[in-house]
A and B are shown apart, each in its own frame.
Chain A
């Protein structure tokens, strides 16, 4: 294959050229469409598309910057994303006054440490640091604050926020930095692979649930989520993953299985986040009535937060890297 003849850097650069090319085409199409006269529903769809397109652009630029800036930059960049996501999460969880020290620990100690571990490639400690050590540290700090009211609930909220926003998202730079034998420096492809298959599963699932009108699996949480649509999303992700096997260290079947598993985890994670939002009583993360500023970052990164750890673990475990 001609692509393999290129140097690693050139391959990754080509990848980004293709991604940005596709995005540019999408932008041009969007712009051309916006010149046309539109009815009310079309206008709404148009606006939604613009919002999604902007999110994808931001994401693509983020990945590009992460790759450009090497280990330190990537870690820092995803660290900031994780910080903003955790900020959104904690805002909607009604914490109490006694949680203050625990939250400081989460934001200013746990988060930087976890990302440092990722950036330094200390993956053995990286995977257990939060589930084992922080799992104890947060309730200890909380207990020392001396407020027994709803102790379990409060600690569960903080631990959950850390698991999703810090532990989950820290696997994105970890994937970028994971070293495969004979695959050095191509971590960007792994992360790209994960993001593409997750996005594919999401889009397929959404389109399928609109067409199929199948029974929602959990009506009170998500009216559109159905088992059939989910399976379709998983299979579509697997097929896309298998078609992209040449960019990864996997064989086609391995790529199929990994893509399906990771994407399935991502869409299930989205369902979980929707349940959490319902619990908190909001339609989307971020400020519900926001007119300006950053909105709903957590909505965008939630699937990644669930699929990245699973993808990372499976890859490391199966390939022993």
Chain B
């Protein structure tokens, strides 16, 4: 076992100790198929939670997306994203162009396209930024472009519950509170569906995974 593997296991253990990191596979089994998981985004902790909720053998092939300027700034940040999480780096400035103003420039998605062509699975947060509101913000178009380019990859909606209580913005020490990740049924492709309808449908699919008791 390498140092990165050991560190990853330790991190997953810590995440489970603090949040329980329970994965509820409601709509699909945890299988080693190529998938894009898309989820609501409320905290820096979201990625770790999804990652810890996955079975161990899926963790190695499921990759997050990391902003290059922030996550390569120090050797430790670089090491943890590269070696432990196998992150896909994107440049933030260019991502903003593509997903923000709605230009059809495909270039910023290139690292993601490359990762998907390798057969890796991805976790993306289509809101683009963390939001403190109970309902997720409208989705950015990146998910749509990836979905049309890779029609064979399953699109799995996921809802991450409670995580904003674990570590609110500006705090450093997490509070132990049980969190869950609910994975829904793969989003169906509809031929000829336009971008806006698709994104609304994806948004609704994520929201539909929210547990009723919360």
Residues on A close to B: CB < 8 A?
Answer: 83, 86-88, 90-91, 95, 97, 100, 103-104, 107-108, 281-282, 286-294
Instruction: Establish whether residues B211 and A288, one from each chain, have CB atoms under 8 Å apart when the complex forms.
Output: yes
| Complexed CA–CA distance, A286 and B22 (Å) | 11
Within 8 A of A (CB), among B149-197: 162, 165, 168, 171, 173, 175-178, 180
| Complexed CA–CA distance, A289 and B25 (Å) | 11
Instruction: Establish whether residues A90 and B24, one from each chain, have CB atoms under 8 Å apart when the complex forms.
Output: no
Contacts of B20 in A (CB 8 A): 87, 287, 293-294
| Complexed CA–CA distance, A286 and B211 (Å) | 14
Instruction: Establish whether residues A290 and B24, one from each chain, have CB atoms under 8 Å apart when the complex forms.
Output: yes
Contacts of B23 in A (CB 8 A): 292
Q: Which of A88, A287, A292 lies at the interface centre, i.e. has the most chain B CB atoms within 10 A of its CB? A: A287
Instruction: Establish whether residues B175 and A292, one from each chain, have CB atoms under 8 Å apart when the complex forms.
Output: no
> Interface size (B, Cβ < 8 Å)?
17
Taking the closest CB of chain A, its distance from the CB of B185, in whole angstroms, is: 15
Cβ of B213 within 8 Å of any chain A Cβ, yes or no, is yes
Identify 27 residue pairs between A and B in the complex whose beta-carbon atoms are under 8 Å apart, listed by A's number: A83-B176, A87-B20, A87-B176, A90-B175, A90-B176, A90-B177, A91-B162, A95-B165, A100-B168, A103-B175, A104-B175, A107-B176, A108-B173, A281-B213, A282-B213, A287-B22, A288-B211, A288-B213, A289-B24, A289-B211, A289-B213, A290-B22, A290-B24, A291-B24, A291-B25, A293-B22, A294-B20
| Complexed CA–CA distance, A77 and B139 (Å) | 45
| Complexed CA–CA distance, A223 and B211 (Å) | 27
| Complexed CA–CA distance, A19 and B2 (Å) | 43
Contacts of A293 in B (CB 8 A): 20, 22
Instruction: Establish whether residues B178 and A292, one from each chain, have CB atoms under 8 Å apart when the complex forms.
Output: no
Contact of B177 among A91, A281, A282, A290 (CB under 8 A): A91
Contacts of B176 in A (CB 8 A): 83, 86-87, 90, 107
Which residue of the partner chain B has the closest CB to A288? B213
Contacts of B24 in A (CB 8 A): 289-292
Within 8 A of A (CB), among B1-36: 20, 22-25
| Complexed CA–CA distance, A282 and B20 (Å) | 18
Instruction: Establish whether residues A87 and B178, one from each chain, have CB atoms under 8 Å apart when the complex forms.
Output: yes
Taking the closest CB of chain A, its distance from the CB of B151, in whole angstroms, is: 30
Which residue of the partner chain A has the closest CB to B20? A293
Taking the closest CB of chain A, its distance from the CB of B30, in whole angstroms, is: 10
| Complexed CA–CA distance, A293 and B19 (Å) | 11
Contact of A87 among B25, B173, B177 (CB under 8 A): B177
Supply 5 further A-B pairs (C-beta < 8 A) apart from A87-B178, A90-B175. Answer: A88-B178, A104-B175, A288-B211, A289-B24, A291-B25
Q: Which 10 A-B pairs have the closest CB atoms?
A: A91-B178, A103-B175, A87-B176, A293-B22, A288-B213, A97-B168, A91-B177, A104-B173, A100-B171, A291-B24
Contacts of A100 in B (CB 8 A): 168, 171, 175
Which residue of the partner chain B has the closest CB to A294? B20
Taking the closest CB of chain A, its distance from the CB of B181, in whole angstroms, is: 11
Which residue of the partner chain A has the closest CB to B19? A87
Within 8 A of A (CB), among B192-214: 211, 213
Contacts of A282 in B (CB 8 A): 213
| Complexed CA–CA distance, A42 and B122 (Å) | 45
| Complexed CA–CA distance, A210 and B177 (Å) | 36
| Complexed CA–CA distance, A220 and B177 (Å) | 28
| Complexed CA–CA distance, A86 and B20 (Å) | 13
| Complexed CA–CA distance, A115 and B188 (Å) | 53
| Complexed CA–CA distance, A287 and B20 (Å) | 10
Taking the closest CB of chain B, its distance from the CB of A91, in whole angstroms, is: 4
| Complexed CA–CA distance, A289 and B20 (Å) | 14
Taking the closest CB of chain B, its distance from the CB of A224, in whole angstroms, is: 23
Instruction: Establish whether residues A287 and B178, one from each chain, have CB atoms under 8 Å apart when the complex forms.
Output: yes
Taking the closest CB of chain B, its distance from the CB of A12, in whole angstroms, is: 31
| Complexed CA–CA distance, A290 and B25 (Å) | 10
| Complexed CA–CA distance, A213 and B25 (Å) | 40
Which residue of the partner chain A has the closest CB to B168? A97
Q: Which of B22, B25, B175 lies at the interface centre, i.e. has the most chain A CB atoms within 10 A of its CB? A: B175
| Complexed CA–CA distance, A95 and B173 (Å) | 16
Contacts of B177 in A (CB 8 A): 87, 90-91
Contacts of A294 in B (CB 8 A): 20
Contacts of A95 in B (CB 8 A): 165
Instruction: Establish whether residues B180 and A287, one from each chain, have CB atoms under 8 Å apart when the complex forms.
Output: yes
Contacts of A91 in B (CB 8 A): 162, 177-178
